[in-house]
Amino acid sequence: MTKMKQCETWIWILLMTIEFTACQDFDIFVFSEQWPPATCIKGRQEKKTCKMPLVYNYWTIHGLWPCSSSGDNPKYCPGPSFNFSQISNLTEELISYWPDIYDKRSIQGLWNHEWTCHGTCAQTIPATKNERRYFKKNLELIKKFNITSILSNHNVSPSEGNPYSPTIILDILKKDLGHAPLLICIEDEVRF
């Protein structure tokens, strides 16, 4: 498994939106990407088992969450239950970009959780107003904010012997994204 030294399980990119109405319980979206090998290390600390072999050597979706700048983030809002048929023709892309790397649940279980916990609370704006749009928005964002490509374009790639500091990673991302994301690091076992 590729290790990443001082940095990174998730990168959170704050996405501001102007499509809000007065009835919403959130004012920003947080889009989060994860580096699967680092997520597995964190998972082991929480007694979770990763699916092996872990073939994801690129950043994947962790989630898109409606959030409030006040810190009171909505979860499990009223709305329709998860219905896989709404996204079944997105399965190939979702498996690639939004895999469940843990053994305990099915891939549909992960997507069910994300819709039920977060997607139902994002229905108040047109871009994420239903299950299909919510999942399509996640796919759109992972392609637009492709951390794997951004780092690769700056010759930053995973390796056993070439650690990068969080500062280098953040500087690259800030330059290419136009703002600095929040970078959450796990213990020194992880390298990048």
Alpha carbons within 13 angstroms on the beta-carbon side of residue 10 total 14
CA pair distance 142, 145, nearest whole angstrom:
5
CA-based torsion, 163, 140, 82, 23: positive or negative: positive
- What are the tens digits of pLDDT across the range 24-37? 578 888 999 998 88
pLDDT band, residue 19 (cuts 50/70/90)? very low
Judged against a pLDDT cut of 50, whether residue 170 lies above it is answered with yes
Please name each of the domains of the chain with its CATH number: 10-184 (3.90.730.10)
Active-site residue, selected from the candidate residues 19, 33, 92, 114:
114
In the block, residue with structure tokens 């992880």: 190
Which of 30, 43, 31, 186 is closest to 101 using CA atoms? 43
Tokens of 117: 């916990």
- What are the tens digits of pLDDT across the range 123-148? 999 999 999 999 999 999 999 999 99
- What are the tens digits of pLDDT across the range 155-168? 988 766 677 888 88
Residue with the larger pLDDT of the pair 8 and 122:
122
Beta-carbon count within 10 A of 130 CB: 17
pTM of the model: 0.83
62 catalytic? Reply is yes
Active-site residue, selected from the candidate residues 62, 131, 154, 187:
62
Tokens of 143: 């392609």
118 catalytic? Reply is yes
Give pLDDT, residue 126: 94
The mean pLDDT of the chain is 82
CA pair distance 174, 122, nearest whole angstrom:
26
Per-residue HEC secondary structure of 65-103 comes to EEECCCCCCCCCCCCCCCCHHHCHHHHHHHHHHCCCCEC
Rg of the Cα trace of the chain? Answer: 17
Which of 9-13, 16-20, 103-107, 123-127 has the lowest average pLDDT? 16-20
92 catalytic? Reply is no
Active-site residue, selected from the candidate residues 118, 154, 160, 189:
118
Give pLDDT, residue 24: 58
* Mean pLDDT calculated for residue range 64-87: 92
pLDDT band, residue 13 (cuts 50/70/90)? very low
Give pLDDT, residue 6: 36
- Quick check: helix, strand or coil at residue 174? helix
Give pLDDT, residue 161: 67
Tokens of 156: 């930053």
**65 touches 118 (CB < 8 A):** yes
Give pLDDT, residue 158: 78
